[in-house]
């Protein structure tokens, strides 16, 4: 009983017991994980034979500019016997289309200076004047375009 009383009285003993407990748990977990590993000494690494790469042939194929990918390579084969063709009949108009046309970008303009802070409310936001207080930490953000418009007053 005197051992428990001395533990409850001393903070140093409490900390030491917690550290010993954590150490024992960590060593037990490491021991369990190491027991699950199979260390077979008989296994040899597989030998891989490396073939020399013909760089001239690869370079000439790239420089010649031959088409590596065609629409027929990506689209499924439309034979009458295939199950896909039975479930999805294709008209002649779709077979003549080339869906791999490149040369223009489709998407949303994500970099617009005027839409940094869009205004979606009825009343205008009063403009906040920009002041340079030092040569450092200046913003590239100028006064928004919508800040100079007339205010909508509903009264």
17, part of any domain? yes
At 69-103, the pLDDT tens digits run 777 777 766 676 677 777 877 777 777 777 776 66
- Structural domain for 28, as ranges: 2-35
107, part of any domain? no
- Vertex 51 angle, CA 47 and 55, to 5°: 150
Q: 60-85 burial, b if ≥16 CB within 10 A, otherwise e?
A: eeeeeeeeeeeeeeeeeeeeeeeeee
Q: How many domains, the chain?
A: 1
Confidence of residue 132 (pLDDT cuts 50, 70, 90): confident
60, part of any domain? no
31, part of any domain? yes
Quote the pLDDT of residue 60.
79
pTM of the full structure: 0.24
Quote the pLDDT of residue 9.
80
14, part of any domain? yes
146, part of any domain? no
56, part of any domain? no
């Amino acid at each position: 009983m005197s051992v428990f009383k001395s533990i409850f009285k001393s903070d140093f003993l409490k900390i030491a017991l917690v550290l010993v407990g954590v150490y024992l748990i960590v060593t037990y977990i490491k021991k369990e994980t190491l027991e699950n590993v199979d260390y077979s000494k008989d296994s040899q690494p597989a030998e891989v034979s490396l073939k020399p790469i013909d760089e001239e042939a690869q370079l000439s194929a790239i420089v010649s500019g031959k088409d590596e990918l065609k629409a027929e390579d990506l689209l499924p084969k439309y034979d009458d016997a295939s199950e896909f063709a039975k479930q999805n009949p294709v008209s002649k108009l779709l077979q003549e289309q080339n869906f791999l046309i490149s040369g223009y970008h489709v998407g949303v303009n994500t970099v617009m200076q005027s839409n940094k802070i869009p205004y979606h409310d009825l009343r205008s936001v009063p403009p906040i004047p920009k002041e340079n207080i030092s040569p450092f930490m200046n913003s590239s953000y100028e006064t928004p375009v919508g800040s100079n418009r007339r205010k909508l007053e509903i009264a």
